[in-house]
Amino acid sequence: MKPTRILLVGLPRLLEEIVSDALAQAPDLMVTATLPDAEALALDPPAADVVVLGTESPGLIATTLERQPRVAVLAVSDDARSSSLYVLRPERTRIGDLSPGSLVAAIRAAAEPPAADWWAR
């Protein structure tokens, strides 16, 4: 089984060491690179399955997911007291028998803006 590739971006030095040590204990997880800041991530995003990001900036998270929609982003707050996981996943909704009413309802539902308040696009 292939290990999960992890990219560390913009973590404070002590937090980076703690995260790296924790991940080193898991044989199925591999830190592939460490970037000093988000600007480096935007310039040349290395291949990764998970990005551990040292900020909870909604704009940066959204941009990262737009550029690499299959990556998961684990955003850690500046004080490292909280974190959130952001992922884009394919979704399938069964509609059932197609009628004029279900067709209209399905199209309206598909066109609704996302409910996520952090994705300000």
- What is the model's pLDDT at position 106? 87
Using CA atoms, how far residue 101 sits from 18, 44, 49, 94, 104, in Å, is 55, 47, 40, 15, 5
Angle CA(62)–CA(65)–CA(70) in degrees, nearest 5? 160
pLDDT greater at residue 94 or residue 119: 94
Does CATH place domain 1-121 in 3.40.50.2300?
yes
Tens-digit pLDDT profile for residues 59-103: 899 989 988 889 999 999 878 889 999 998 888 888 888 888 888
Q: How confident is the model at residue 120 (pLDDT cuts 50, 70, 90)?
A: low
Residue 27 has pLDDT above 90, yes or no: yes
**Which two three-digit tokens encode residue 52?**
């551990």
How far apart are alpha carbons 110 and 52 in whole angstroms? 31
Overall pTM > 0.85: no
- What is the model's pLDDT at position 48? 92
Mean pLDDT for the chain? Answer: 87
Q: How confident is the model at residue 109 (pLDDT cuts 50, 70, 90)?
A: confident
Angle CA(81)–CA(85)–CA(91) in degrees, nearest 5? 160
Sheet of strand 72-76, all strands in order from the earlier edge strand to the far edge: 29-35, 4-9, 50-53, 72-76, 83-86
Q: Where are the chain's structural domains?
A: 1-121
- What is the model's pLDDT at position 121? 60
